[in-house]
Amino acid sequence: MATVYLPVQPIEGMDSAERAEALDAETWRLRRPLSLQSPQDVTKYYYPRITHPTTGQVAIVGDTTEEVRISPQVDLTDMLALLPEVPQEEKDGLVMFIDANRGGSVPFGQLIPSTSEQLTQEEAEALGWFPEDPE
């Protein structure tokens, strides 16, 4: 297990929290596409998210070694729309990678865009991501 903290930058029309929520939902839809979800399903996201106590920025708390199952019915359209800063060549490569692994699984670490900030536990602590937790 290799925990990674992914602070999410805002994009036009979405603040950090909204974009993080949307990315988290699209990560879940890699495994359980909307076409397979039932209206009464409660589970909608893949990973937990945390909020910086000072800045309010939101980070997705992922695991780079975790195998994310890829549904044969996966649809990447909405995921790609959330990555405007990622070079087109990289997005094309992501599509090919996902298509090649439909019905299988891929390590989450290989889904993280090159443009994303990635923090270790120690780096996240040093940057003040964890609120005071009294003992």
Partner 1 sequence: MPDISKINAVAVADIEKLDSILAANIEKVNGLTFATAPAFTPILDTYTNAAAAYSVRQLKSGVTVAMRVRRETAGGTGDDDEADVAFDTSFSTPTISLDSAISNASAGVTATTLGQFINVGTVNGTTYTNPDSLTVTASCFVDEWKDQSGNANHAEQTAQGSQPQIHDGTVNTDLILANGKPAVSSEAVDYSGFPISLGLSQPFTNFVVGKNNGVGSAFYYGFSPQMNAAFNSNIYAGSGLSTTVDLRNEAHIMWAVFNSSNSKLKSIKATQSQEVSGNAGTDTNFNYLLRRRSNDQGSNLVANELIFWDSEQSSTNLSGIETDINTYFSIY
Interface residue list for partner 1 (CB under 8 A):
3, 24, 28, 31-32, 38, 40-49, 61, 63, 69, 105, 121, 130-135
Q: Whole-number minimum distance, CB 126 to partner 1, in Å? A: 13
Q: Indicate the residue among 31 and 91 with the shorter CB distance to partner 1.
A: 31
Q: Indicate the residue among 89 and 133 with the shorter CB distance to partner 1.
A: 133
| CA–CA separation, 50 and 58 (whole Å) | 6
Q: Whole-number minimum distance, CB 120 to partner 1, in Å? A: 12
Judge whether 30 and 98 are in contact, CB under 8 Å: yes
Q: Whole-number minimum distance, CB 16 to partner 1, in Å? A: 17
The type of residue at 108 is: F
Spatial neighbors of 81 by CB under 8 A, at least 6 apart, are none
Q: Indicate the residue among 41 and 85 with the shorter CB distance to partner 1.
A: 41
Residue corresponding to tokens 């209206």: 39
Tell me, rounded to whole angstroms, the distance of Cα 5 from its chain centroid. Answer: 10
